[in-house]
Every structure is written in structure tokens, then in C-alpha cells.
Structure 1
């Protein structure tokens, strides 16, 4: 019995030891797993903290960069706002810009034009008014600021600012390296290819279209002519000289004027008669400019054969007789450009229609010149005019491109303004 009991106890102890060993192993494994999990979580936590810290630093850095970018953008934006409106300069500013009026570009009845430069190197032209100015000259000065100062278009000359002090009144424009269009039309030493002149015609039309149709208030220029179309370094045109220009509401289609405006030879008939005036007077003047671009000659040239003395009417007779080929030959226009030239003839004839309502809008003019709009056959724009008489006062006025008492000042100024070739 005792041996059996002893054996039984020994077996029980062995089983208990084995169970204890297993339990300890399990507990130990659990502890190891728990510790491992704790270590892993600790490592992950440290990584997460490091990552968050890095992200916070990056985020702060990004905010700082964005803030810097925003500030730079805002500063540039504010600078651009200043650039797009005329700045009022002091007399000392003008003296500094022109180096005490060192380089004279030209002069006229309205004032003297000097070449200058802003501190950032941008070249400018400064038109300084004569100290003794009548009321009309001051009105023209204010008209320039009040009209062109409201505009910004690639085909309009830029007015950077003005000076209006007791000692000095001046207008500050962008500098136009190539001068005015008239020198390239009428000067044998400065001819442009007809393709470039066609581009200049379209660019000029786009500038006038902007004035009529795209400004907040419609602007009527009143003095469109080659002398008031300036050419930049890339031979792109910019309409200039807004001394006669007028702002008008879009709902008000008619303008009341006192006295004639514009230049004889370019001015619409209604500008010299007691008729209502609309923006279509600019369309008429542009048509006259087109004739001169087409022929690369003045519309009135008494040295020509009698039938060609007044170029626009000669063009009409050729068109009426179906002889536009003769025009192309006379104007030395190559065959590759004849379609464009014929369109220019027809557009010019439409632009100079006697009745303003029959003249096209400048938007239609651009589209017709670019071949995007069909051109119907124009009617005779000269049927209301007297037969040609070289001795009549009607034609003697047209000869006086720069002698009209109403526009001598503007003609002179237009020819010298921003004209590098004068030097």
C-alpha cells in the first residue's frame, strides 16, 4: 500500500511540475509578447511624434513661403494697379526723368517734347506745355488725361502720368521708337512693305474699336490720321493724341459740339456742318487713313494726273468700273496681297460714306479686313460732293494737312510726339 501511495504521489508531483512549467512558459511568452508590443508601440509613437514634428515644421515653413508668395503677389498687384492709371508727378520728378530737359525730340504750338527715362530704365516721352496756354490748350490737356488715362490696350499709346503744377504742366507717355505712321507713308526714305502696312491698318482699327466698343465709356477720338498713329520698336501701331477726344455715355449716341474738330482731309463731313455727331466720325477718318495706306501717298496730291489728284475718288471710279486690277498695279501691290488690298479698298469706301449710319462699326471693319466678314459692294460715297475743282475752297482746305487753324497744334504735336528719328 505504501509503495503504491508513494508512486502515486510522485506521479502527481511530476504532473504538477509539468503544469507549472507550462504555465510559466505561457506567462513568460505572454510577458515577452506584451513587452514586444510595448516596445513596438513605443517605437511607433516616437516615429509618429517625429513625423508630426516634421510635418509641423514643414507646414509652418510652407505657410511662411505661402505668406511670402502672397505678399510678393500683392505687392506686384498693387504696383500694376498704379501702372494702369496715370500717376501725378511733381515738377522735380519731371526734371529728374528728363535730366533737366536735356534731349529735345521736337516742338509745336502745344509745347515741347523731351525724351526721358524712369529710374527703372523705361524710356518715356514728356510733352511739356508752354507756360502761356489759352483755354483750348488746357481743355486738350485735360482731355488727354480724362480719356487715354482710362484706357489700356496694346494699340493705344500709354499715358504713364502727368504733372499739373503752377510752374509746370506736362504729359508723360511711353516712348515710341519708330515715330509716326505718316513718315512711313510719305517719306521715300522710310518705306515699309505692304504686308506690314496691312498689319498696321488692322492694329489701328483694333485700337479704335476698343475706344468705341470696349471701354466702360465710349471714347470718340475725332482726329484719326497717320500722324496720330505711332509705331513701336516691333512696328506695331498705337493710336495717340487724345487732345480732342470726348467721353460719352453708351446710351447717348449723339454728341453736341461747338466748332469744327479734326483735320481737313480726314474729318467727317458732319464735323464741319450743323449735323449730329456720333462715333462714326472716327470711322470716316479711318477710311481716309486706309486710302493713304493703300496708295502709300497722300490722298490729295496735286502733282498726280488730274484724275488721280484726289485718290479716294479715283479708287471709287476704278471700283465702279470693275478695274481694281488697275489700282493694284498703280499701288505696286504684289499678286499675293491683292485679295487683302481689294478688301481694303472696299472697306475704305464703306468707311467714308457720307451718311454716318451707313458706315460700318469698327468691329465690322476689323472683321472685314481680316476676311472674317463678307463685304457687300459699297455704294458711291462721293455722290453728294461737288465736281472736282482745283481752285475751289472745298479742295484748298483738303490741301492744308498742317495749316488748318483748328488743328495746326495737333498736327505738329502728332508728328513730333515720341519720334526718335527727329534726332
Structure 2
């Protein structure tokens, strides 16, 4: 049975149209029915979207209809959920968020008692049960408020970063009008930093609206004033972060992972001596890790795949260029606030603008649209395209790299080239695009 509702990061779509209250109730009820506990305790958290109240009520109804207790944590970053599930020994957590998507969308994802996302098999069973329609039950749970959820999450961050000294450091935070708008400044101010905020006034509709980790230019422009030592931009649900140095230069996930990997290596804390990243990671990252004697495992795009690879190998650190950074030594999921703290710890008071962890090669990325996924597959399998990719790869061998792949969410061919110079990256990318476009016509 193929999954129809769950993607790589839960169920996500237009709130009220695709993700209705009825669907949310059915999913939550089915998830609780899978629990072996007689009265499952289920944490429910959400981001700042206006549809969050509706879906929170529906999820709580589904949980209680299946005989579980719904513990409402309110607005919290997604990564708080797996930490609190572990802290309190809960059966499950349900997160209501569409991450970096616009406010019109929303989503639901579940975390198991161990803090990790549910398995594919569990998600398939939830889909099957949710599709069966309502079922009578005499087991009725309760809806309770988790009054200390925010402070419990901050306590987990303090447990790991309580000795980090940031006194006098000037930080600018872009909270994307999302779930980090209270807690990110709170923990950094506790460590002594002087914090200023932007996009920290959510109104239900302004989440990710031209701000946050997916719209980093707003933070970069403010950073060029020279008034701050470093800036951090979170996405709407707080599971990813990007940084900007005092010159306004963006520090992406590759660089943040490189900074952290070298830090843990120096401390002897890089479990397994390696890191896991996706196929999108810059060639410069691989070169830097090779020079440092750090192994690199490569996964498909998606933090779920990075997480699975880390667990398989017994490693602790990995992530994505987009800013999902996973430190299994702290949490079973990516955590934007914790990643910002890890970056500051790794710098040890040094200037982010002088980071020097890796040299990022110039990159050119072009998306080419196909009529449908069948046409996309034919183009990628065509001999002229495979020949062009082989030629380009040979040309850049040892100096850069080529990646031509299908998008996982749209009928797009993504053509990416990294080379020692902007001009060479553009030239090689143009050649590949011509080869692909010829097969898409």
C-alpha cells in the first residue's frame, strides 16, 4: 500500500481544504489507537498559523475519542515536542505545523515515545485506519493544558547549553513570525546576549511572509548595518536555522554543520568520526571534511533520511544545506534554536565572519519544468542527458560536481553545478540545461 497522505514530513496541505478538521481528527484518533498504553498521554503543539486553533481542537478530539489524554502545549517550536515526549515519558506527540510553507497551509506530524518520527509502517496504518471512518467507543479521554511546556523546553536547552557564556554579544534574530518568537530570545538572553528581534509579532497570517530562513535577505540587509555580531533566521516551526555574519554574508546549513563538526572533533565528541548530509551539500563541504579526516555519508534530500542514516551508523551530527541540523547527542530531531546555540558554542567567542570552516564553491541551480512526472523520468533516462552529465562530471572531477535530479514534490528537473568559478559553473550548467530541455520538448 502506497502512502497517500503522509509525505517525508507528515501530512501537509491547504488548511480547511485538504487538511480539514475531520481529517485531523481521524488521523489523531488512528495514531492513538496504535498505542499499546491503556490511556496514552499525547502532547499537542502548534505554530502560529490562524488554522492552528481549529486543527488543535480537532486533534484533541481525535485523541480523546480514542481514549487518550490530550496535553495542549500551545505554540512551541516543533523540536520541543520530541524533547518533551522523552522528558515526561509520553506515548506520542502531535505537531500542527506546515514548517516553512505560507500561512494558508498547515500540517500534522507525529513523534513516537522515543522522540523519533513514526515509522513508514506506522504512518501507513494510520492512513488505513483514518480512511475507515468513525468508530463507536466507550473510552473517552481528557483535554488538559500543559502549563509548563515552554519552561520545560527551555530547561532542556539549559541542560545542554547552561555553561555557554554570551555576555555582551549582540545578536539579531529573525523569528519568521513563527513558533520561536518567544523562546529563541529567552534562552539567548539567559546566556547573556543582547538580543534584538525582527519578524517576532505573529498575527496568524504573517508566518514566513518574506522573512525567516526561507527569505534570508531581510536579515542580511539588517546585518549590514554593522550593529550586530551575528544574526540567526529561523523558519516558521523552528526546526531549521540559517546564520548571517556582521558583513551581511549568509552562512548556510553546510557551513554551520562544518563549524559544528570541527568543534565536536576537537572535543572528541564527534561520535563515529563522521557526519551525514544530503546530495545538495556543497562540494566545498566535502573537501573541508576530507581535509579534516571526517567521514561524510550522503543521503537523499530530506532531514528524515539524514536522521535515519545517523542512527544507522551511530553518528551524532548531520543535516541539510537548508538549515536542518540534527545533533542526536541532544535531540532526536533538528532544532533551530539548539543549532544556533551550538554554532555560538563552536565559535567560542570568535567572529562568525572569520569562521573559515570551509570554502564554499560557486553554485548554479536551475529548475526545468516537465509536463508531468512521466516526461521528467524519460528526460532523465535519455542517452543525451546521461552523456552530458557524464561529460560535465568528468570535466569537474576533483574540482566541483554536477547533480541532475528529479524534484520530490513537483514535476521539475533540478540541474545543479558547483565549480571553482562563477563563470565555469554557469557555462557547465547552461550546457546541461540545453541537453535536458531538448528531451523535455
TM-score, length-scaled by structure 1:
0.24
1 or 2 for the larger relative contact order (CA 8 Å, sep ≥6)?
1
TM-score, length-scaled by structure 2:
0.23
Greater strand proportion: 2
**Which protein shows a greater Rg?**
1
Greater helix proportion: 1
